[in-house]
Amino acid sequence: MAAAAAPPPPSEPTDPTPLQTKKPLGHPLFSRIRLATPLDVPHLHRLIHQMAVFERLTHLFSTTESSLFATLFPDPTATPTPPPFQTFTVFFLEVSPTPFPSTPHPHFTPILKTHHLDLPINDPDSDAFQTCSNDAVVAGFVLFFPNYSTFLAKPGFYIEDLFVRECYRRKGFGKMLLSAVAAQAARMGYGRVEWVVLDWNVNAIKFYEEMGAQVLQEWRVCRLTGEALQAYADK
């Protein structure tokens, strides 16, 4: 008599729960780099003051909201305003817990990015830096303007200030701002982007070198300002 066939293996238990789509780990945070507008001047003034505190240069800080309005956003009815990138230009970095809408601009398309952080960011000054759109807050800025290289026979950009608020540092936001300026220069066929860094700010120096920048040790900044500059008015 033939041996009985072995019983079939037990079937895999069915999971009544449907498969869930895997979600990225961490806490999502959405960022946007856009052109600043006259409405941003109060935030810009606070950012510059925070930067002066960080750089230990508050004794040189005399900027007011009025002076920023007058020099960065002059009245277009009195003086024709050059388009962005042809004069003083400010990129604002905003962050939000919800995605930013796509808002094209004739001169610059905002840069949108999603970040997945290990921990949420505690922003003690969120109320002071909140904007009117999308529960967003201002996290940093970069101010730059055209210069010119006679050796290259090409224009370039000079970065006057790049600043990220303390609670948003070491998360890639400074790199985003610097990359945005460099990308704009490359698109316009410019020859280079330049800026200065304080010699004691070793973290910033390392960061810039890692981005491919050369720190030119043989050059020194020369400046005429205040009474020394005004002395030439009568000559």
Domain limits, the chain: 27-234
Start-to-end CA span in the chain (Å): 124
- In the block, tokens 């400074």 appear at 174
Q: Give, for all 235 residues of the chain, the pLDDT tens digit.
A: 444 445 555 555 555 555 555 555 679 999 999 999 999 999 999 999 999 999 999 999 999 999 999 999 988 777 777 889 999 999 999 999 999 998 888 899 999 999 999 999 999 999 999 997 768 999 999 999 999 999 999 999 999 999 999 999 999 999 999 999 999 999 999 999 999 999 999 999 999 999 999 999 999 999 999 999 999 998 8
Pairing of strands 89-96, 27-35: antiparallel
Angle at 130 between CA 125 and CA 135, to 5 degrees: 120
Report, as residue numbers or ranges, the catalytic residues.
208
17 C-beta neighbours (distance < 10 Å), count: 6
Least Cα distance to 91 among 108, 75, 69, 67 occurs for 108
- Quote the pLDDT of residue 39: 94
Instruction: Note whether 44 and 64 are within 8 A (CB).
Output: no
- Name residues whose C-beta falls within 8 Å of residue 229's C-beta, 6 or more positions apart in sequence: none
- Quote the pLDDT of residue 23: 55
Identify the CATH homologous superfamily for domain 27-234. Answer: Gcn5-related N-acetyltransferase (GNAT) (3.40.630.30)
Question: Which amino acid appears at position 22 of this protein?
Answer: K
